[in-house]
Amino acid sequence: MTYSRGLLENLYRDMARIRLCEESFVEPILDGEVRCPCHLYSGEEAIAVGICASLNENDYVFGTHRSHGHFLAKGCSMPELVAEIYGRETGCSLGRGGSMHLIGPEQGMMGTAPIVAGTISLAMGAALAALIRQDKRVAVSFFGDGATGEGVLYECLNFSGLHKLPLIFVCENNFYVTHMPIRECRVESNIYKIGEPFCITACQVDGNDVLQVFEAGRKAVDQCRKGMGPVFIECLTYRFRGHVGPDDNLQGYHTDIRPREEVESWLQKDPLKTFEGYLLKSRLVDKETLDRISLEVEEEVAHAFLFAKKSPLPKRKDLAKYVFK
């Protein structure tokens, strides 16, 4: 497959933006400067970027507790993301939601929530609305492997398969349900097969290969726009940071939660470094261009954090302003 240089550069830039933004939260979290729980997306960037690159701006995306990457990949504001995590009035949820309640409706980012599998049915509703309106929009539901233990997923698979909804189920399988290895909670490890009983097109891809994810996303979007029904994509990946916060072992858990050899093995499959190596080896993008992109990303991230820190906190008198009785 031949890709334009512009697309390749954009994929690299978006992955670099997510990685650097996420890693820039580590010290503020450890120092107590960031107070809300943060589920960092480092290591899984290729999934959000690959899928969102296949979408239009008006297509819908619904996220999870670990959705900083989805928010940025869908084209939403980095300063608003960082400000939200700092609890500032200029955040995307006005500083009231924090890391796990992100929204950018103008870019099609319809919301995230910490409830496991909590947004899958919302994505299905958006897909049903798109079908009724015949507006050719596609809805994407991102969720982790832990969501496969929730009944609502199977209800949505059945309903969307029955009505051929323009819905893409994207399972980000990082092999751990919080701290439980997937082998301890699933009989069948190939998650994508759960689509088969519902006659849903399903596949498994290397979630650390952004081009492989992009191709799967592009095919899925095409199928949905043609009215041929939903698609289930299982992306195999690995989070580089803790379930919540920078490091599992800093949360008071035992050091054998994730074997050191396993972690080191996955670090060698770093999606950003792998893609950079591919671009350079194939001479598709030169090192000078990648260095320039990295510098621009560093400046963007620095600006976003400065913006957040200078932004005002919500006023005490407005504490209940957006609470519904």
- The predicted structure's pLDDT at residue 250: 42
- The predicted structure's pLDDT at residue 180: 84
**Domains in the chain: boundaries:** 5-312
- The predicted structure's pLDDT at residue 71: 98
pLDDT along the chain (325 residues), means of 10: 94 98 97 95 98 97 98 98 98 96 98 96 98 97 96 98 98 90 85 96 98 98 97 97 80 60 92 98 97 98 98 92 80
Whether residue 136 contacts residue 225, with contact meaning beta carbons closer than 8 Å, is answered with yes
- The predicted structure's pLDDT at residue 253: 42
Class of CATH domain 5-312: alpha beta
| Separation of first and last alpha carbons in the chain | 54
3-state secondary structure the chain: CCCCHHHHHHHHHHHHHHHHHHHCCHHHHHCCCCCCCCCCCCCCHHHHHHHHCCCCCCCEEECCCCCHHHHHHCCCCHHHHHHHHCCCCCCCCCCCCCCCCCCEHHHCEEECCCCCCCCHHHHHHHHHHHHHHCCCCCEEEEEEHHHHHCHHHHHHHHHHHHHCCCEEEEEEECCEECCEEHHHCCCCCCHHHHHHHHCCEEEEEECCCHHHHHHHHHHHHHHHHCCCCCEEEEEECCCCCCCCCCCHHHHCCCCCCCCHHHHHHHHCCCHHHHHHHHHHHCCCCCHHHHHHHHHHHHHHHHHHHHHHHHCCCCCHHHCCCCCCC
